[in-house]
Amino acid sequence: MPNAHPDLWQRYQATKAASTAKYARDIAAEMGISEAELTAARLGHDAVRLNDDARALIAALERVGETKCICRNEYAVHEQVGQFTHQHLSGHAGLVLKPARARSAPVPQPVGQRLPSER
């Protein structure tokens, strides 16, 4: 698919080269655009549009084997490493069970507040 945003692609390349930011969301913020706009500008270069059939995509991921999924925002990072096995997909919902391991960054607790396990 040809890139519909060549000017943004060029700005992205320049910002990325000059930036200390590591993640696309941070580079997009430096550019003053959304991460979605940056992703659209990267199509045809270093980004690929996925098929919008989530059920088929998740089903195909079972053949990939161990996979790392990352959800990141400005407050937390959650990494899930596992296999897309034991899939239960129907209608507008789905469940994939049996991940190998999960790692989450700890959520800071207010000073003086005890954790539920300490009560």
Tokens of 38: 């940056």
In angstroms, the CA 32 to CA 38 distance is 10
The pLDDT of residue 106? 58
Helix (H, G, I), strand (E, B) or coil at 12: helix
Q: Looking at the predicted structure, is the pLDDT value of residue 114 above 70?
A: no
Provide the residue count of the chain.
Answer: 119
CB 79 within 8 A of CB 72: no
The ranges assigned to domains in the chain are 6-42, 54-104
**Separation CA 42–CA 33 (nearest Å):** 13
Specify the residue for token string 């990141």.
Answer: 72
- How confident is the model over 13-67, as pLDDT tens digits? 999 999 888 889 999 999 999 999 999 999 999 999 988 888 889 889 999 999 9
Residue with the bigger pLDDT between 119 and 16: it is 16
**What pLDDT, on a 0 to 100 scale, did the predictor assign at position 13?**
94
Model-level pTM greater than 0.75?
Answer: no
pLDDT of residue 112: 58
